[in-house]
Chain A
């Protein structure tokens, strides 16, 4: 076994890796191309950073291509992203032309590798038009949508739908996100990489160090929410829940998120959060750089309970990360949090700050239950939300796409 497979086997067990090898064996040597719009930063690049080498280790001939463009291309795709998540954005025709022209330019560069591939995975809307621009394609083309499309702004989706309808299949993170298209809509939940800086085991000293660095009290229970300063994440509701708990029991709160961005609403929410926190010394608002993965890792491990009290959520990978660290999660009853937070087993689903406060108090008072739920939380992620399961489903999908229309595929 190779070093990378050995490392994963040490976490998930050799049987899981054997299972992947057996499944991948008939796909050995197949040419697979993944295309997205960035090699670093963002969830998609994070996934491709482990997925591509993992598939290579299993014998597939995989490469990762990136489309590049000028500022107006990214401006357009940023608007797509906002529109697909439900914001009614108007996109000027000049930006749409830049989007199409950028794809045409990239197609000139990538056409031969894409047309020769056995499988092409196109991630998100940025490179979606490439399908039409590769008329002599041989393989199967799959569009992977990483975005919450449950309530898209119709004008934007109507425009993009034309580019993705012709694919052989598409992949969605949740059934709620899937939009009707004339091909199979596969469901593959996201996952976390247990070997990444954000999730790998840390030295005990690293966890203790965050208490000093952020002036946290090691003797007080620590409640943490890691998320952007976004109204959908309900940071004000988290502060309200904390205050309701603090009336009964001493506790401290960390709200950790990205630094000031060019998102004007983010800054406004951050201002409201600071205002709501006032001068309470036990509320810690931490603005961390986007690459502070080890820091987030340590904060989650240092926490007693993690919160993700979202009002609306995609899959909620911060929930997965917290569960993996053996922390019960009190999460909003929405989106992918429902798949991960199983009431009374891995945490609690709540609808109000009062509900969150009630569950925090319950767990702080019942430490045995808290510990037991933490163990179950980690087991849930081990079995269901690690990259090994994600990869298994990618491989399964490749067979399923090769045998479209067949419910049973015997290899």
Chain B
């Protein structure tokens, strides 16, 4: 491998935007003009917040449709929206708007929430810092990954998707930097990990398991024939 993997950590701070929606039509109107960071936060920010919720309502929009609008049909349709299948936030925004407009078109009335249950749009700032930890070989990652903080898992596996050119995780970017193609198949197994319908702790476990199957580097054998 060339450069060692630099382990970073991150922390999010939530910001109230002051934007809110009392009913589904207002929600749809706000969605059209919202800061893209709000959509990101309401899909991914939950991973770093307290939650024991069932994964089918993993995103805040679906959870609001279910809990406050009591529109289970809409909640189900929003819950299945997977942000990792969209190339960018604008594409995700379009799918959300389509889903809501479809629901508005088929409803005889506009679902609304009680005044204490308005949807409050939130965005976040992310602060990233270097932990000083370096991992030099992919095989070592299997042992090291279990000791990474959930903030590190979020940064390298979730946040990386909006940061890297490939839209993949930092782990994949690092492995792809090796020209030998020896990790091509293994990269496939990392890419196959679904980051969405899970928790950060579970993701960490899945990554550790995947790295246990990582091919041993050939240089090791070259040096010790």
A388 CB → nearest B CB, Å: 12
B109 within 8 A of A: no
Most buried by A among B49, B51, B127: B127
The listed residue (B9, B128, B147) touching A408 by CB distance below 8 A is B128
- Shortest CB–CB separation between residue B40 and chain A, in angstroms? 9
Q: Is the CB of B53 within 8 A of A408?
A: no
Q: How far is it, in angstroms, between the C-alpha of A33 and the C-alpha of B116 when the chains are bound?
A: 35
Q: Does B149 contact A (CB under 8 A)?
A: yes
With both chains docked as a complex, state the minimum distance between the C-beta of B63 and any C-beta of chain A, in angstroms: 12
Q: Any chain A CB within 8 A of the CB of B192?
A: no
Q: Which of B121-167 contact A (CB under 8 A)?
A: 122-132, 147, 149, 151
B37 within 8 Å of A (CB atoms): yes
Q: Is the CB of A22 within 8 A of B11?
A: no
Whole-angstrom distance between the Cβ of B52 and the nearest chain A Cβ = 4
Chain A residue with Cβ nearest B19: A180
Is the Cβ of A396 less than 8 Å from the Cβ of B12?
yes
- A382-411: contact bitstring with B at CB < 8 Å (1 yes, 0 no)? 011100000011001101100100111111
Question: How many A residues are at the interface, by size bracket?
Answer: 35 or more
Beyond A397-B13, A407-B37, whether A22 also contacts B125 by CB under 8 A is no
Q: Does B209 contact A (CB under 8 A)?
A: no
Interchain nearest-CB distance for B217 vs A (Å): 29
Bound Cα distance A254, B131 (Å): 48
Q: Which of A334, A376, A396 has the most CB of B within 10 A?
A: A396
Select one of B53, B123, B129 contacting A411, CB under 8 A: B129
Nearest chain B CB to A234 CB, angstrom units: 16
A239 within 8 A of B: no
Q: B residues within 8 A CB of A383?
A: 50
In the complex, residue of chain A having the shortest beta-carbon distance to the beta carbon of B20: A175
Q: Which A residues lie within 8 Å of B80 (CB)?
A: none
Is there contact, CB below 8 Å, between B149 and A19?
yes
Instruction: List chain B positions with a Cβ less than 8 A from chain A.
Output: 9, 11-18, 37, 49-53, 116, 120, 122-132, 147, 149, 151
Q: What are 25 A-B interface contacts by the 8 Å CB criterion?
A: A19-B151, A22-B9, A22-B129, A22-B132, A23-B129, A26-B129, A175-B14, A175-B120, A178-B18, A187-B13, A187-B15, A339-B50, A340-B50, A342-B52, A393-B11, A393-B13, A399-B127, A400-B127, A407-B123, A408-B126, A408-B128, A409-B125, A409-B128, A411-B128, A411-B130
10 extra interface residue pairs, beta carbon distance < 8 Å, beyond A184-B15, A185-B17: A22-B132, A175-B16, A178-B18, A186-B13, A187-B15, A342-B51, A380-B50, A396-B13, A409-B126, A409-B127
